[in-house]
Amino acid sequence: MEFTFTKLMIDKPECKACKKDQQLNGLLADLLYSLFNPYYREDGHFDPTELIKKYLKDDLKKLDSNPFFREVIRDLGFLDGYWTEQLEKYQVAKKMVWEKLKEMLEKGEIKRDELSANQLVENFFDEVVEDLKKSGYIKCVEGKFHRRVVKYNAIAEKIIGDKILSIALEELDRKSRGEHITEREGISIFSGENLVDFDPLLHSFDNIDLCESLVKSAIKGRIELEDIVARQTKHAEKCVYVMLIDVSDSMRGKKIIGAIEAGIALRRAIDRNRNDDELEIVAFNHRAFRIRREEILNLEPRGRTDIGLALKTARKILSERSGTGIIFLISDGEPTSSYDPSITPWVCALREARALRKINAKLQIVMFGNEGRFLEFCTQMAKLCGNSRLFHFSDPLNLKKYILRRF
């Protein structure tokens, strides 16, 4: 009976319904990322605009090829009755095409790698948003016409985070995600280089250096307890991360998308590295406010930039916690605001960077942009903190290409 059961399991045909669901779910995940990052480009041989034209009536085909009509659809300015009627017909045709496209994907008439996710979002924005709403990825779309802001649910962060890691952090060294082992002596499972007498109250049997212990016993000609030596264990402690994300007005466009991607990627890397670490996320402009993890996706840039206030907030958080403090500062430019009106924004930020020495915090600056003054400013902050690294990204949407400087 066991053989028959195994044979049946091997010969069991693949579930077509499951395969269809996997294809559609995979497409929805890619559409979600393309909706979040409109600058991401994906190759695809299948042109959906040709399919749209097949479903349009002759009068709508002429309108579809009319640049003015496309502008009307995009901006939805003043419409009279004629344009409203034509627009409704066009939207009905697009919905039919979208359903036909999904049906073709389910039947295998087209393959996923033939479709460009960003091209689908550009041509079927409303239809894509509606399907993502039904799947629970999107909460709502705020605003109208040319400025529509998508509000994401918490589950969308996981999907987009997986996509970011697969694109940008495939070769990320796990050792670079946090420094948990220090040179201090202590109690842990990590063995150091120094030999010490074995103490059963401090060391486990894994810490015993068998070779050195046997050599000492061989010289004496007998084995005694005091001849057993162990490797001194290293001190190990958790990390407390504070992520500071600049959401000032200068971060609009590619920069805020890059900042959100960097924030999500770092958060996912931290979570995968150790479970007992702590992470606080702070969004800042001329104010600083803590946010929940799932709120990163919904950050919008506005206001001035107070880096001094951001660093002060991080210092306050770390001073109330135990563990190694690591601050990630994600920003694109010089400070333009100071919480202390008696000093300039630049001096305020540098003063707070120096104050990080008092709590032995590590400062990791993620810098977007190529401005010489900003690079000089970040370099000064890193030097004043003392234990710092500066990651310089010339392209905020390319997390693989950066220049690293250590201080």
In angstroms, rounded to a whole number, what is the distance separating the alpha carbons of residues 315 and 300? Answer: 24
Instruction: Using alpha carbons, select from 163, 141, 131, 128 the residue that is nearest to residue 48.
Output: 128
Identify whether the C-beta of residue 371 lies closer than 8 Å to the C-beta of residue 332: no
Per residue in 339-383, pLDDT tens? 999 999 999 999 999 999 999 999 999 999 878 899 999 999 999
Backbone angles phi, psi at 406, to 5 degrees: -105, 145
More confident: 47 or 212: 47
In angstroms, rounded to a whole number, what is the distance separating the alpha carbons of residues 148 and 150? Answer: 7
How far lies 326's CA from each of 69, 167, 292, 362, 391, in Å?
53, 25, 18, 5, 14
Instruction: Using alpha carbons, select from 273, 260, 241 the residue that is nearest to residue 362.
Output: 241
**CATH 3.40.50.410 domain residues, the chain:** 174-178+238-406
What mean pLDDT comes out for the span 22-28? 72
In angstroms, rounded to a whole number, what is the distance separating the alpha carbons of residues 378 and 371? Answer: 11
Helices (H) and strands (E) in the chain, counts: 14, 12
Per residue in 173-207, pLDDT tens? 444 444 444 444 454 545 666 777 767 666 666 66
- CATH for 174-178+238-406 is 3.40.50.410
Residue type, 339: Y
Question: What angle is formed at CA 33 by the lines to CA 301 and CA 96, rounded to 5 degrees?
Answer: 115
How far lies 48's CA from each of 42, 53, 220, in Å?
14, 9, 84
Per residue in 108-165, pLDDT tens? 888 888 999 999 998 899 899 999 999 999 998 887 656 688 899 989 988 888 888 7
More confident: 192 or 385: 385
In angstroms, rounded to a whole number, what is the distance separating the alpha carbons of residues 389 and 63? Answer: 55
In angstroms, rounded to a whole number, what is the distance separating the alpha carbons of residues 374 and 367? Answer: 9
Instruction: Using alpha carbons, select from 155, 99, 160, 89 the residue that is nearest to residue 127.
Output: 99
